[in-house]
Amino acid sequence: MQTIGLIGGMSWESTALYYKLINERVRDRMGKLHSAPLLMYSYDFQEIKEMQYADRWGEAADSLADVARRLANAGARAIVLCTNTMHKLAPDIMSKVSIPLIHIGDATAQRIRAKGYRRVGLLGTKFTMEEDFYIDRLRAHDLDVLIPSADERADVNRIIYDELCLGIVAAPSRRCYQDVMATLVASGAECIILGCTGDHDASRSERHVDRDIQHYRNSRRDRSRLRNRMIVMWSTAGALSRSIHG
The H or E element that residue 42 is part of is: strand 38-42
Flag whether the pTM goes above 0.85: no
User: Which residues are known to be catalytic?
Assistant: 83, 196
Can you tell me the distance from the alpha carbon of 79 to that of 40, in angstroms, rounded to the nearest whole number?
10
**Same CATH fold assignment for domains 4-103+223-245 and 105-219:** yes
Class of domain 105-219: alpha beta
Architecture of the domain delimited by 4-103+223-245 = 3-Layer(aba) Sandwich (3.40)
pLDDT tens track of the chain, all 246 residues?
889 999 999 999 888 888 998 999 899 989 999 999 999 999 999 999 999 999 999 999 999 999 999 999 999 999 999 999 999 999 999 999 999 999 989 988 988 998 899 999 999 999 999 999 999 999 999 999 999 999 999 999 999 999 988 888 899 999 999 999 999 999 999 999 988 755 555 444 333 333 333 333 444 445 455 555 555 555 444 443 333 233
Q: Which residues pair with 5 in a beta bridge?
A: 39, 79
| Burial of 37 (C-beta count, 10 Å sphere; 0-12/13-18/19+) | middle
Domain boundaries, the chain: 4-103+223-245, 105-219
Residues 6+ apart with CB under 8 A from 46: none
